[in-house]
Structure 1
Amino acid sequence: MQGTELKKEVVASSGSRAKRDQMNIVIIGHVDHGKSTVVGRLLADTGSLPQGKLAQVKAQCERNARPFEYAFLLDALQDEQAQGITIDSARCFFKSASREYIIIDAPGHIEFLKNMISGAARAEAALLVIDAKEGVRENSRRHGYLLGMLGIKQVAVCVNKLDLVGYDKGVFDAIVEEYSQFLAKTGMVPKAFIPISARYGDNMIRLSENMGWYNGVTVLGTLDGFTKELSLRDKVFRMPVQDVYKFTAQGDDRRIIAGRIETGAVSVGEEVVFYPSGKSSRIASIEEFNVPVKQSAFAGKSIGVTLETQIYVVPGELMAKSGQAGPKTGTQLRANIFWLGKHPLLGHKRYKMKLAGAQVPVWLKSIETVLDASELTTESNRQQIERHEVAQCVFETLKPVAFDLAPDIAQTGRFVLIDNYEIAGGGIITDQIETKTSMIAEHVTRRSEQWQRSNISAPQRAARYGQRAAMVLITGDAGTGKAQLAKALETDLFAGSRAVYYLGLSNSLLGVDSDIDHLGERDEYLRRLGEIAHLFTDAGIVLITTASDLDDHELEMLAMLNKPGDTVVVNIGPRRFNSREPDLQINDIGSREDVIIKIKEMLSEQKYLPEYNL
């Protein structure tokens, strides 16, 4: 009856639960060291199981002629019970006199390290289980290092199955000494080492008579002694932009910026800044689906906001509050990663990084050290990272991304790496790399050094064609008629005997970009467009092309790739660039013929069409 009442309390309304602290605890350790048994015992001994659950599992074991294990209370998945190992990161609730716990039982088998990391990443503290009879194993060391890498500093080590070694204090002390020396190399100091027998309940929630030599705290007491970390809503404000919605029905012209608040809080009227673009505005309203109007929102809420001044932001930007410490931005970052991919992590290969709300192409720029997490030995001068290896690396993106250092704000300082549509690795950002150059700039320099120029110079081509080569880039919102304008401009210039070519999106798709997956590969498309533009302008041609929704960094990348050719920007509609003014601003196309005249006048004034007569 007491267990039933306690269970009713635990699953009570969210209102009553909000009055008590909650803490996420992860249980990890080598396979078969007893993690699930520890959790099952905690559930049973604190009366947190549903009524009849314990008897039901025991009866099932009798029917199947299997000895009862407390781990069966947790291992609910059919695959887990068939194989006897925890595959997924199971979650369950239990409650002590001090607080409520969400406890995560993460798998210990090396093949399921991805699941283990996924579970541990949500935790505030950890219990690491070691089998007293088997001792410290490879995964015991690897898991210890991973806890430190994930920033989990509150850790207790449970030395389990003391009953199998006759509750020998010497065995316990030897494991404490060995594992303490190992963890010291990682900078981690456990809060406690606890000798237990989860199967028989020794030192789980009360001190055991079988280990009179131990005068420390029980597992439950140790958990209650962990301190709750700073509330997410008390940290600086961070909201990754998930998407931007615009509704046109019934004259609704709002642009709603949607996302989930990771840390902090925000209110109507507060000024916010978007990174890496640096654009700012004030919150006009906070929107939630089918709820009353709210004046503020805090961490954990998925919301939409409208702004007083309409600015152009894109999914993947990071919203922060003006007056608070902002995130870091850059193209290079140092990170500690754990590689789980089927194939090695290679330098100069394109991967996808998911960081907060951003999904960006990323390259491994350098490998600084590779760590054998089981022995904490390091290697340098490595060219690739093998599966299950831990490494300190430098990564580079094509354009700046916004992030925090993981020790400061873990939610926006952690990332995963995608290889061939699968999560292949994860890591935490430890430092920002300040650099005056970029991957694109270095590429352009190498290209210039290796380019075999023809005997015909750019002035000779200009004299022959009667024009200076340039990429005429027409930008603006999608659906503003840019392509039709570009084609009409090409026709007009061609009729005037100009060496001109229109390169549209479809040309590129059918040609050099036929291998691109166009879902989420915008940066790679723009990179290749810049390379093609360089070929045309190097040949003395006036290239006309279009691009929708360009931001400052994308425009800079295109212009840099086109060097030494010139890039001329014609912007249609609202201006979106902070770092560069367009060469010609057209608010509304209106008459296409009039716009073409304006473009030709501008090209003549800038000496690209020197013979054009006004």
Structure 2
Amino acid sequence: MTASPENDALNAPQLKIVIVGHVDHGKSTLVGRLVHDTGSLPEGKLEAIKAMSERRGMPFEWAFLMDAIQAERDQGITIDTTQIRFRTKKRPYVIIDAPGHKEFLKNMITGAASSEAALLLIDAHEGVQEQSRRHGYLLNLLGISQVVVLVNKMDLVDYSADRFGEVAKAYRTYLQELGVKPVSIIPISAREGDNIVSHSDAMPWYQGPSVIEALDRFEKIDVPTGRPLRLPVQDVYKFDHRRIIAGRIESGRLRLGDEVVFSPSNKTARIKTIEAWHVPAQPSEATPGQSIGVTLDEQIFVERGEVMSHVADAPIESAVFKAKLFWLGHNPLVVGKTYGLKLGTLESPVTVEAITRAIDTDTLASVTADRIERNGAGEVVLRAKRMLALDEYEKSPATGRFVLIEDYLPVGGGLVSMEGYADQRNLITVRSTNITAVGHAVPHAARAARNGHKGGVLWFTGLSGAGKSTLALELERELFTRGYQTYVLDGDNVRTGLNANLGFSPEDRAENIRRVGEVAALFADAGFLVISSFISPYRSDRERARAAAPEAFHEIYVKASLEACESRDPKGLYARARKGEIAEFTGISSPYEAPETPELVVPTDSLSIEECLARLIAYVDKAFKA
């Protein structure tokens, strides 16, 4: 049998599109027109709606064709997302009509998040409104790149080409600042049907596609089999002797015999069977969108919220990450507040550690703020008390999105970014086996008695230019003259030998600090008072160094403001970083996480070197004298 265009359209996969726009800009009218003018309206529906309007004494509106909720007609605004199906000659569509009213942005996000493309309406008479810009920003934040802008109600501006040009130019400029290039900008009148299915005689100056033609040009987003395997664990079922790990494959392909790892527990196994329900035979592989169960070649403890992946391309593991976020809560998002994080099937409390910038969605200007108000956006740093399995949105859109919860309600959502933060997986995975701890013939008390002091680690942390190295060397000299066994570890003597193979990526910097922490712990165990002088910008790295010598570790915060450090800038590094010549420079393009509860704070921007040194010596004498 020869294939025909009609058969191709019948078998074509449906495309999900969302329609957004400011309240009363004509979304529901457009949907009614699309359904009617493509012949997708059920027989008798139009007549029934017209009869209903007459009974109520209301003029007929195309919007009534898709009203699904009684309150819509009473209040005159759409209050929930409504899904409408129609078909063109090319393929079937599902339109998600999303509310335009400011109070219903949550529903708009719900509709847009599951869509592959968007139609964004703007009233030709009113022009670009605040909500129009906000919707454009949200579509960009949700990763929807296929956008057609419809300038509606052209009949109210006498089909003016000049007015269309003004509105189109204003909104195109805004979208370009977001990095979004609309597929088309089309002048229409949804009420009159102009440029919906066919070109309008009222606008001969417009030579672009009609709405239907623009829709048919949208590309169907392929099933993400080529992306890394991601299966968030939904549950673990126990049947007889089997443990079946169940979940939905979000991306990638899974086959029998594959070696997989569960993050963040880092447990590995091989796929023994793939279980599916209501199928004639158990499958040998599974692809995105399939809800499956798996059994493993060995019994390991796995729980809900973990992410299954291939060992070779696993998620990032970290307790902290950056996020591009849109806030919907009635109360503002504030630094220090804890919210519930929903990431895939995982739920975990996270604390807002910092707001790196708030974004005015109207102008896209960045502002410094300690809060993000309702319907605002920004970039924040979120920290959990446990390791999280994370994917950057660009790498894995399905698992790179998250939602924040407060009082059991969604209050925000956004995209994961690991910019400036290291993957902690290799730093926390123990690979050594058959290792037996060996004690020492010389006890710590004997070392302390001979040296006159206990061993320990003075961990200097602070921004570049805060004075860490200066103080470390002065303290070493002074302590040595007082009879202390002491030594300084810093970049000069570590980077040229022990860590000569490490660069300055976030991962290499984290490994650099891990090694220094272990070496410092050995020095302390030998009875030395070791002074470690490193920026060590991440709390997780410093906590790991503390864990290496928990009783002997003393965190010293060499504190100076960014402005003070820049004004010193002895090597000109800040100036180069400001020019973009140095990537991932702490304090400028990479974060510095100040200590929360250091053992000692030495404020070098308010005290002299002599005063700082005196404070350090007094602390050492008190903490380490035997």
- Whether TM-score is above 0.5 comes out as yes
Relative to structure 1, the CA distance from residue 259 to residue 207 in structure 2 (aligned partners, 3 Å threshold; closer, same or farther) is: same
**For 2:359 and 2:103, how far apart are their aligned partners in 1?**
19
2:416 paired with 1:424: no
> Counterparts of 1:42 and 1:287 in 2: how far apart (Å)?
42
Measure, in 1, the Cα distance between the counterparts of 2:38 and 2:225.
Answer: 31
| Cα offset, 1:326, TM superposition | 2.2
In structure 2, the partner of 1:307 is: 296
Q: Which runs of 5+ in 1 are unaligned?
A: 1-8, 11-15, 439-457, 460-552, 567-614
Q: 1:198 aligns with which of 184, 190, 201?
A: 190
The residue number in structure 2 matching 1:181 is 173
Is the contact made by 2:316 and 2:424 (CA closer than 8 Å) also made in structure 1? no
Aligned to 1:399: 386
Displacement of 1:295 after TM fit? 2.0
Name 1:375's counterpart in structure 2: 363
How many angstroms does 1:296 deviate by? 2.1
Aligned 1:408-487 pairs, distance under 5 A: 408-434=395-421
- Write out per-residue CA displacement over residues 242-281 of structure 1, whole angstroms, 9 at most, x where no aligned residue: 111223xxxx121111111111221222222211222211
- Counterpart position of 2:53: 61
Residue in 1 that maps onto 2:351: 363
Task: Please give the alpha-carbon distance, in whole angstroms, between the structure 1 residues aligned to 2:304 and 2:242.
Answer: 16
Question: How many residue pairs are counted as aligned between the two chains?
Answer: 433
Q: Which amino acid aligns with 1:410?
A: P
Pick from 26, 42, 52: which aligns with 2:34?
42
Query: Given that residues 351 and 384 in structure 2 are in contact (C-alpha distance below 8 angstroms), is that contact kept between their aligned partners in structure 1?
Result: yes
Looking at structure 1, the residues matched to 13 and 99 of structure 2 have their Cα atoms a distance apart, in angstroms, of 26
Query: Which letter does structure 2 place at the counterpart of 1:176?
Result: A
The alpha-carbon deviation at position 560 of structure 1 amounts to: 6.0
Residues 332, 433 of structure 1: 8 Å contact kept: no
Residues 561 and 43 (structure 1), Cα distance of their counterparts in 2 relative to 1, 3 Å cut: farther
Cα distance in 1 for residues equivalent to 2:549 and 2:62: 66
State the TM-score, normalizing by the size of structure 1.
Answer: 0.67
Alignment partner, residue 466 of structure 2: none
Structure-to-structure mapping, 1:593-608, within 5 angstroms: none
Q: AA paired with 1:302?
A: S
Structure 1 residue 384 corresponds to structure 2 residue 371: yes
Q: Equivalents in 1 of 2:377, 2:366: separation in Å? A: 10
Q: Which residue of 2 aligns with 1:212?
A: 204
Offset from partner CA, 1:390-440 (integer Å, 9 cap, x none): 0011111111111211122211000000011111111111335425999xx
CA contact (8 A) 1:158 1:194 kept: yes
Conserved 8 A contact 2:318-2:424:
no
- Correspondence for 2:565: none
Aligned counterpart for 1:291 among listed residues 260, 279, 284: 279
Query: 1:403, 1:48 → 2: CA distance?
Result: 43
1:105-116 mapped onto 2 (5 Å cutoff) = 105-116=97-108
Aligned match for 1:347, one of 335, 349, 354: 335
Q: Aligned runs of 1:486-505 on 2, under 5 Å?
A: none
1:37-66 deviations in whole A, cap 9, x for unaligned?
111111111111111111111111111111
2:136 aligned counterpart, secondary structure: helix
Q: What is the letter of the counterpart of residue 274 of structure 2?
A: I
Partner of 2:306: 317
* Structure 1 SS opposite 2:24: coil
Instruction: Tell me the secondary structure at the aligned position of residue 317 of structure 2.
Output: strand
Q: CA deviation at 1:17?
A: 8.4
Distance verdict in 2 for CA 1:336–1:163, change over 3 Å: same
Q: 1:423 aligns to what SS in structure 2?
A: strand
| Residue in 2 that maps onto 1:92 | 84
Letter in 1 for 2:88: S
Give CA deviations for 1:360-395 in whole Å, capped at 9, x if unaligned.
Answer: 110111101101102212201x11111111001111
2:134 — aligned with what?
142
SS at match of 1:208: coil
Shift of the 404–194 alpha-carbon distance from structure 1 to 2, 3 Å rule, reads: same
Match of 1:274 in 2: 262
For 1:321 and 1:56, how far apart are their aligned partners in 2? 55
In structure 1, what is the Cα distance between the partners aligned to 2:80 and 2:67? Answer: 9
Q: Is the 8 A contact 2:10 2:91 kept in 1?
A: no
Partner Cα separation in structure 2 for residue 238 and residue 436 of structure 1: 17
Match of 1:78 among 29, 51, 70: 70
Q: 2:10–2:92: 8 Å Cα contact kept in structure 1?
A: no
Q: Tell me which amino acid in the other structure corresponds to 1:39.
A: V
Aligned residue type for 2:307: L
One of 205, 220, 224 as aligned partner of 1:228 = 220
What is the CA-CA distance between 1:235 and the residue it aligns to? 2.8
Correspondence 1:8-23 to 2 at 5 A: 19-23=11-15
Q: Distance in 2 between matches of 1:225 and 1:340?
A: 33
**What CA distance in whole angstroms lies between the structure 2 residues aligned with 1:20 and 1:400?**
42
Q: Secondary structure at the match of 2:155?
A: helix
Contact 1:236–1:264 (8 Å) recurs in 2: yes
> How far has the Cα of 1:238 moved from its partner?
1.0
Aligned-partner SS, 1:32? coil
Q: What is the aligned partner in structure 2 of residue 534 from structure 1? A: none
In the alignment, does 2:264 pair up with 1:256?
A: no
Displacement of 1:116 in angstroms is: 0.4
Q: Residue 328 of structure 1 contacts residue 432 of structure 1 at CA under 8 Å; is this kept in 2?
A: no
Letter in 2 for 1:298: T
Structure 2 letter corresponding to 1:287: E
Q: What RMSD in Å do the two structures reach over aligned CA positions?
A: 2.7
